[in-house]
Amino acid sequence: MIRLLCFLVLISCSRLEQLLPPEAAGSDSTISVLLVGNSLTYTNNLPELIKKEALLFGVEIRTEMLALPNYAIPDHLSDGKLQRLIKKGDFDFVVAQQGPSSQADGRQMLLDTAPVLDELCKKHGARLAYFMVWPSRQYYQTFDGVITNYTAAAKSVNAILCPVGVQWKEVTDTGDFSYYGLDGFHPSQKGSELAAKIIWESIHPNN
């Protein structure tokens, strides 16, 4: 009789858990994202914009940002804080960017650090993604190099590519420069909103 009662209780609990929403059933469905970069990430608080984009699809995400002026990915790796953050194992995605990187030195930085960053992410349960940026209006002619080099870095380690620069260029090629801020390099609010939309669609393609 006791065994039968225990069995019935287990069945009842199982059915109740199926009826409850994920958070009530005890599972943590929140997606966590670390954004690593420089002023192109912290201008207009890109992490908060990504949160808002996710909420449009009913998804709650947690974000953290490690972004400093004029920093490239090697600078973050040299400091060591990036490694400490990832090693905590708190992130599902690490979204990285540096400057436009259209020239040979920028390309080499992306390619040299890609395997290091990717291995670090995989070891601690995260997926690496690259936030493809854009050149300043002054060096707009280098845009194809930005696209090529970020794409190459992502492909080299099978990372996620967030092709913000591709859509940015499609619009600016028409003569609409509204994605640029007043300084002709940092994003306007509209530009950051575009970046947030594409990053979210890239890391969560089933929304």
Q: What percent of the chain is modeled with pLDDT above 90?
A: 84
pLDDT for 129-161, tens place per residue? 999 999 999 999 999 999 999 999 999 999 999
The arithmetic mean of pLDDT across residues 118-130, rounded, is 97
152 touches 191 (CB < 8 A): no
Confidence of residue 13 (pLDDT cuts 50, 70, 90): very low
The arithmetic mean of pLDDT across residues 31-40, rounded, is 98
Give the chain's domain count.
1
CATH number at residue 189: 3.40.50.1110
Q: What is the pLDDT of residue 21?
A: 38
Q: What is the pLDDT of residue 29?
A: 63
**Per the domain annotation, does 83 fall within a domain?**
yes
**Per the domain annotation, does 104 fall within a domain?**
yes
pLDDT for 71-112, tens place per residue? 999 999 999 999 999 999 899 999 999 999 999 999 999 999
Q: What is the pLDDT of residue 30?
A: 85
**Per the domain annotation, does 20 fall within a domain?**
no
Q: Are strands 31-37 and 61-67 parallel, antiparallel or unpaired?
A: parallel
CA distance linking residue 174 with residue 145, whole number of Å: 19
Nearest to 145 by CA among 101, 177, 91: 101
**Per the domain annotation, does 13 fall within a domain?**
no
Residue 4: pLDDT above 70?
no
Residue 140: which domain range? 27-203
**Per the domain annotation, does 12 fall within a domain?**
no
pTM for the structure as a whole: 0.86
